[in-house]
Amino acid sequence: MQRQPEFGTFFLPGPTEVRQEVLAAMLKPMIPHRSAAFEELFARLQVGLRDLFQTQRSVFLSASSGTGMMEAAIRAMPAGRILSLVNGAFSERFAHIAEMCGREVDRYEVPWGDVHTVEGLEPYLRAGKYRAITVTHSETSTGALNAVRTISDKAHELGVLCLIDSVSGLGGAELRFDEWQLDYVLTGSQKAIGLPPGLAFAVASDRVVSLANQATERGVYFDIVEMERFAKTNQVPATPAFSLLYALDVQLDAIRAEGVHARWDRHTAMAHLTSEWADTTAGVSNIVEPQFRSPTVSTIRLPDGMNGREFVKRVGASGITVGTGYGKLGDTTFRIGHMGDHTVETVARCLAACEGALSA
């Protein structure tokens, strides 16, 4: 087998670095999925997943990447227009999914790096007859964090549902499904939860599940009504991705040992360290205003004339992987994913490598 490097070298904003113990868990043998053994595993995973989402409700498990549960969210919505809050590539993807699922979609767009405000949202909600809004919690293409609680509250005030993509948020950025009375939150395994890619998770409120019963084009694979029905007996509708669930089992134990709140604090500390470095290093700057920065990912603008992709290669030569800027930001920025099982110590090592590449 390939020798593993020491943990703390891989800082993509997804997939993030996975600990050896978690990778090793995937070597366990298969079990039949219509069995007491699976139901026991499912029930145990629910305990940890509910803690991550801060909910008492069932957490749906999907053998897909996060995008699958974005599509599930749209398909669960009964007829009506969708308003998509767009401030980067992933929030644009949510709008695109809604369109490709045959929905009428309007966009409330702000520049990349910005966040959405309730003042900006209100006129849209008053003007249109929307069934739901889509919003991205941590916009991974820029590192901006939307205040999903206040956005959701405003939507509810005006009778609109709020579908939240927290793929790079959940497990790293504070989110409390029950206390904040959220409608639908989805995430993926490979970002702040610190697992390999291939699993998606979502929670839907009771109201969303009953409304979904009236949605006529839910399809089959991403139908939350079926997921909810099966979850009641600790089951899933189709064959689960066992190997990834074994990895999840081990990771949820580690998350329980650390504590979800402590995990949020650790992510905040990593983001602060990264911000402080960018704010005090000549020639570089975080593209997001300090009060809107995500705890899990930062996009750093490089000095004029320094190419983003070449910079990432130079950092790579020192054994540290960082991300290129997303899409149109690729030439002028780079991204650091400080999420999952990274710590202020590993992030400090990453920043030292970036510092070295700046002066090389």
Ligand X SMILES: *Cc1c(COP(=O)(O)O)cnc(C)c1O
Angle at 56 between CA 54 and CA 57, to 5 degrees: 105
Q: How far is the CB of 114 from ligand X (least distance, A)?
A: 15
Segment 55-114, which members bind ligand X (CB under 6 A)? 65-67, 90
Task: State in angstroms the smallest separation of the CB of 305 from ligand X.
Answer: 29
Contacting range for ligand X; rule: CB under 6 A; set: 37-45, 149-157, 163-171, 174-182: 163-171
The C-alpha R_g of the chain, in whole angstroms, comes to 20
Residues 299-338, one symbol each (x = binds ligand X by CB under 6 A, - = not), give ----------------------------------------
Please say which residue, 188 or 308, places its beta carbon nearer to ligand X: 188
Q: Minimal distance in Å, beta carbon 73 to ligand X?
A: 11
Nearer to ligand X among residue 90 and residue 177 (C-beta): 90
Q: Measure the CA–CA gap between 7 and 26, rounded to whole angstroms.
A: 18
* CA 118 to centroid of chain Cα atoms: 22
Q: Do 209 and 228 contact (CB within 8 A), yes or no?
A: yes
The values of phi and psi at residue 176, to 5°, are: -125, 100
End-to-end CA distance of the chain: 34
C-beta of 167 vs 182, nearer to ligand X: 167
Binding-site size, ligand X (CB under 6 A): 12
**Distance of closest approach, residue 142 Cβ to ligand X, in angstroms:** 10
Nearest Cα to Cα of residue 300 among 313, 290, 314, 286: 286
CB of 49 to ligand X, least distance (A): 17
Task: Between 192 and 227, name the residue whose CB sits nearer to ligand X.
Answer: 192
Stretch that binds ligand X, among 162-170, 205-213, 228-236, 287-295 (CB under 6 A): 162-170
Region from 49-57, 110-118, 164-172, 268-276 binding ligand X, contact rule CB under 6 A = 164-172
Residue 13 CA to residue 10 CA, distance in Å, equals: 9
Does 188 bind ligand X (CB under 6 A)? Our answer is yes
| Residue 354: partners with Cβ closer than 8 Å, 6 or more residues away | 277, 300, 315, 320, 322, 334, 336
DSSP code for 43: H
Q: What is the closest distance, in whole angstroms, from the C-beta atom of residue 14 to ligand X in the complex?
A: 5
Give burial (CB, 10 Å; 0-12/13-18/19+) of 321.
middle
Instruction: Return the number of the residue (164 or 353) whose C-beta is nearest ligand X.
Output: 164
* Cα dihedral across residues 143, 149, 150, 156: positive or negative: positive
Min dist CB 168 to ligand X, Å, is 4
Per CB under 6 A, the list member of 55, 58, 140, 299 interacting with ligand X is 140
Of the pair 48, 66, the CB lying nearest ligand X is at 66
At closest approach, how far in Å is the CB of 47 from ligand X?
A: 24
136 interacts with ligand X by CB under 6 A:
yes
Relative to beta strand 130-136, strand 161-165 is parallel
Query: What is residue 7's three-state secondary structure?
Result: coil
**Look-up of token digits 């139908």:** 223
- The stretch among 165-173, 209-217, 244-252, 262-270 that binds ligand X (CB under 6 A) is 165-173
DSSP H or E run through 109: strand 105-109
Minimum Å gap between C-beta 330 and ligand X is: 16
In whole angstroms, how close is the CB of 163 to ligand X at the nearest point? 12
User: DSSP string covering 246-304, please?
Assistant: HHHHHHHHHHHHH-HHHHHHHHHHHHHHHHHHHHHSTT-EESS-GGGB-SSEEEEEPPT
The answer to whether residue 130 forms part of the interface with ligand X (CB under 6 A) is: no
Cβ proximity to ligand X, 58 vs 168, nearer residue: 168
- Which residues are at the interface with ligand X (CB under 6 A)? 14, 65-67, 90, 136, 140, 165, 167-168, 188, 191
